[in-house]
Structure 1
């Protein structure tokens, strides 16, 4: 996969990533990546993200690759006949992306701790 066209804006040192020239919105759209100091907290709307530690592993791997691996077609995410887990294991996520993925699971860890606490309280302990 070729490197994206990157340019910096004068204000705040933001990075503008342009679409590939073959993309239908290449002439009118781009992605603006702001510096770390202006990062916001994501709040996903809709169904919860899959768990890393239980549930459908293939669905989890497909979701993480879709969110964090650059792609234009499904074949950029995995090869025909390849399992999502295999593609997930082979892809080298950036340190930042790995940290984000780890943090996505914190919600489930908190819910598990809450459930364990309630179970202990019911037992009288």
Structure 2
């Protein structure tokens, strides 16, 4: 995303950082992303995060956690074409903060 600069100093509420979508994004001409001033907890839409202790849901669990905890623009930023989501998760697991690990474990 590209940053959008503020035109001039303003009175009142502090200016929120704004970013434009990358070229090629379907909403590049109609939407911007505004950085939240207060911390927020991201929430996945759809069914709940799958269980990590079941083999039949492990791939979806790894994909969900990587999606929530790591920045990405495309799927390849999280998982290479020739690797499974479990492999991608194993590689990045060491870089998950202690606080986040307590929540997901």
Q: Which ranges in structure 1 are unaligned for 5 or more consecutive residues? A: 106-125
Query: How many residues matched?
Result: 96
Contact 1:16–1:33 under 8 Å retained in 2: yes
Alpha-carbon offset, residue 63 of structure 1 = 0.9
Measured in 2, the distance between the counterparts of 1:44 and 1:26 equals 22
TM norm structure 1: 0.54
Give the TM-score normalised by structure 2. 0.62
Q: Could you list the runs of 5+ residues in structure 2 that have no partner in the other structure?
A: none
Distance 1:26 1:104, change over 3 A: same
Superimposed CA distance per residue, residues 44-69 of structure 1 (whole angstroms, 9 cap, x where no aligned partner)? 664222234x2232211111122333
More relative contact order, 1 or 2 (CA 8 Å, 6+ apart): 2
The answer to whether the 8 A contact 1:13-1:34 is kept is no
Asked if 2 retains the 8 angstrom alpha-carbon contact of 1:12 and 1:34, the reply is: no
Q: Which has the higher helix share?
A: 1
Q: Larger radius of gyration, structure 1 or 2?
A: 1
| Structure-1 residue corresponding to 2:88 | 87
Deviations 1:83-117 (Å, cap 9, x if unpaired)?
A: 21221232345x4xx64564366xxxxxxxxxxxx
Q: Is the 8 A contact 1:18 1:31 kept in 2?
A: yes
Local SS of the residue matching 2:71 = coil
Correspondence for 1:16 among 15, 18, 30: 18
